[in-house]
Structure 1
Amino acid sequence: MTPALPYLDLADPGFSTRSPEVLAARDRGWCAQTPYGLAVLRYREVGKILRDRRFRQGSHNWPEIVGIKGRFADFWRHSVIGQEGEAHGRMRALAVPALSKEYVLSLAPVFLEAARELCAQLRKTDHAEFQSAFSDPFTGKVIAALLALEEDEWPGAARDASELGLAMGITARQYEDRCNAACERLFDLAERLVGRVRSGRDRDSYVARMVAEFDRNGDCSHEELLNTIVISIFGGVDTTRALLGLGLSLFIENPAQWRALRRDAGLIPAAVEEFIRARPTTTWATREATEDVEMNGTVIQRGTVLHLLVHSSARDPEICDDPRFDITKPRKRHFGFGGGAHHCIGHFVARTDLAAALTALRETFETVSYDGEPEWMPDSGNTGAIRLPIRYEVAR
């Protein structure tokens, strides 16, 4: 590894993957050294690595990197994210058919109804803490629709999924006990949900569809089935919850873009994608070299972990001539949902429920601004708002 590479301290809680230091490192070259391996900064190289079979999914060892042990670490290593080859294919075969485009679109009216119900409450005032007033309950209601949860069950499931999200940040170690306890509860919930399907009380949910795939294929173990349900709950809640707050903050800081969205609902799909380019919740996708690989004169040694930075690659001047947040501008595809064999299973769910949320919010807020200082998780690893106080004018 050449010592001439720039260094980025991704482990520093004050560091941002959107910082001037990252942009300066990208100007110098395609990668940089970090405490966690290499950061890949440019669009072309990120795309190549995601397609190259000499790199496996790299975040299987995230618990070891951040120093956490226990139930969450075991779950993560054995999840569809942590597996490769045949095991990965078996588990993915449970979830992908169960989340068909037709099935997800059938739930879109339910997602929109949930968003509008929450916005009806927002209309009763002119200020709120957005995460607790909208993001948390909306993502809980989405996962309830997917899993056919009872009304009193989804708050706990949503809370536990958000707790797991703490394990994916660079400060994960301080939350180890909370993450392990939440993981245990989610596995208990998954067991109960499978029991409902087996007893005939659930025939239509995402879990029912996964159990049908499980019975049809017969390749996965019961533990793999439960694991896939838990990773689906985790991803379904944490991604949407975080992106809603991150996205709204972008509109607050760019009010002309909110006015554009208010004028044209057709911009909603573009807005969802621009959220991920401009303020990704998963700030990097991860791969690990399974053999020595030479790229652009740098030898990437076997076992090296590479962190493919989403914002840096999406704003690479080679493919993006204007780095500002702009939902009206055509953009190249981003890598916020990864790519290749490990492309995010739930990407269409996330896009669909985020679109429903934006539909309701643009109907509700004429203008929106901060009402105090937001509180954010570190801007490396997985990020999002802890608190997002807002003030707004209600649309008439």
Structure 2
Amino acid sequence: MSISLETPYLDISDPSFAMQSEQLREAREQSWYARTNYGIAVLRYDEVSKLLKSPKLSQGSGKWPDHNGVHGGLFYDWWTKNLLVLEGEDHHRIRRLLNPAFSPRMIKELTPRFQALAEELISNFIDNGGCEFIRDFAEPYATRVLAILLGIDESEWPTIARLASTVGLALGVTFKRDLEKVDAAVGELYEYAEALIKDRQQQPGDDFVSRLVLASRDGDRLSDEELRNALVLLIFGGMDTTRNQLGLAMQSFMRNPEQWELLAERPELGGKAVEEVMRTNPTVTWVTREAVEDFTYQDLFIEKGTTVHLFTQSSGTDPKAFPNPEMDLLAENPPHYGFGGGVHHCLGHFVARADMSEALPLLARRIANPHLTGGDEWLPDSGNTGPIRLPIGFTKRT
């Protein structure tokens, strides 16, 4: 790989590395890419847009365990076989069979339940003048939405949240240290998913899991293993990322209080709020690809096998593409890549957009002046990020 020594270098495995830092902004101004300890990082919007769709790059997340010295175990086996990392006909076939279950119509029909859930959770803490936002809202909301979608009892949400959070540790830079806990959580999720599949095979209903179990295209069906892997991905991805993204949304609005007031006045901007938060402060801070052949892009020769990280937050705030990169609910901006892009665009984006676009305006209409009160804790800023604890104070709106 031909890289000049003058090319910026970013140590993205350092827990203190920050995506929204002067170091990264200077690197993006200097060059469209940077060297990292995991390959190269693409920093600007135009290059991320083009390379996300390049047939010369394949999904690279499959190598994430190997990059961290993990070459076997339950997580490794699940990760290397799930839709997120499959390529070619395997990916196309499973996505084709999963697609009908993610019906926008079905998700829209669930909107009143999402609204009622958000109102219930807010009412539990609104008179206190403060809350621990992750514990009291983001985590139960994200997980109970998932329970509603899966057609399971909402009272089971603490178990789902615990397991999904633990699996989420695998996508951070402390992965190898947490491997034993991660593998144990995957094992429990396997058992949970297998019991759910067996139940729906015997007693199908109108829920998401039943749709998956019954899904068939041209006589083709998902095997029990493919169903299990898909459900584990949905449980992990649907809870962990939405919880993190809601926490990051609250952080963004606390930094931009005028946008919070605008959302309170105009709740119809809930969908736009989701897009702006994911553009400027996404939980998935990079999308990983791998070069499937030698090729040259602009001034850079990229050797086959090179890991290429496409930085979503950096590209989403690139001043070359966004003259005003700050959060703005009234701006007309190009599409962001918080849900990935190309053939690996997030399959569950309809769900995430629907539940968050209901939650954020309801929060804004009932809570004024949200602010940090101290004691917040955060995941590392690389890979999947977000707050672990987010204590906030606020004024109750009358």
Q: TM-score normalised by the shorter chain: which range applies?
A: over 0.9
Aligned to 1:346: 348
Aligned to 1:31: 33
Cα distance in structure 2, aligned partners of 1:98 and 1:262: 33
Unaligned segments of structure 2, at least 5 residues: none
Shift of 1:130: 0.6
Q: Is the 8 A contact 1:169 1:378 kept in 2?
A: yes
**Residue 140 (structure 2) pairs with residue 133 (structure 1):** no
Task: Give CA-to-partner distance per residue, 1:333-392, whole Å, 9 cap, x none.
Answer: 111111111110011110011012113212220221111142111111110101100011
Aligned to 2:3: 2
Shift of 1:219: 4.7
Cα distance in structure 2, aligned partners of 1:109 and 1:338: 28
Q: Is the 8 A contact 1:56 1:288 kept in 2?
A: yes
Matches within 5 A, 1:107-256: 107-200=110-203, 202-214=204-216, 217-256=219-258
Shift of 1:15: 0.2
Question: Match of 1:175, as an amino acid?
Answer: D
Shift of 1:106: 1.3
Matches within 5 A, 1:15-94: 15-68=17-70, 69-94=72-97
| Match for residue 364 of structure 2 among 362, 365, 380 | 362
Cα distance in structure 1, aligned partners of 2:201 and 2:353: 30
Aligned to 1:274: 276
Q: Which moved more, 1:314-323 or 1:63-72?
A: 63-72
Shift of 1:240: 0.7
Shift of 1:215: 8.0
Unaligned segments of structure 1, at least 5 residues: none
Task: Give CA-to-partner distance per residue, 1:145-169, whole Å, 9 cap, x none.
Answer: 0111123322211221111111111
Q: Which runs of 4+ in 1 moved over 3 A?
A: 214-217
Cα distance in structure 1, aligned partners of 2:292 and 2:262: 46
Q: Is the 8 A contact 1:371 1:389 kept in 2?
A: yes
**Sequence identity (%):** 42
Q: Which moved more, 1:237-246 or 1:371-380?
A: 371-380
Question: Match of 1:140, as an amino acid?
Answer: T
Matches within 5 A, 1:305-320: 305-320=307-322
TM-score by length of 1: 0.97
Task: Give CA-to-partner distance per residue, 1:229-282, whole Å, 9 cap, x none.
Answer: 110111110111001111101111221111111111122111111111111100
Shift of 1:306: 0.5
Cα distance in structure 1, aligned partners of 2:220 and 2:326: 49
Q: Secondary structure at the match of 1:368?
A: strand
Q: Is the 8 A contact 2:265 2:365 kept in 1?
A: no
Cα distance in structure 2, aligned partners of 1:219 and 1:301: 38
Q: Is the 8 A contact 1:127 1:391 kept in 2?
A: yes
Q: Secondary structure at the match of 2:331?
A: coil
Question: Match of 1:2, as an amino acid?
Answer: I
Aligned to 1:326: 328
Question: Match of 1:168, as an amino acid?
Answer: L
Cα distance in structure 1, aligned partners of 2:160 and 2:363: 24
Cα distance in structure 1, aligned partners of 2:299 and 2:358: 46
Q: Which moved more, 1:62-71 or 1:4-13?
A: 62-71
Question: Match of 1:3, as an amino acid?
Answer: S
Cα distance in structure 2, aligned partners of 1:305 and 1:226: 29
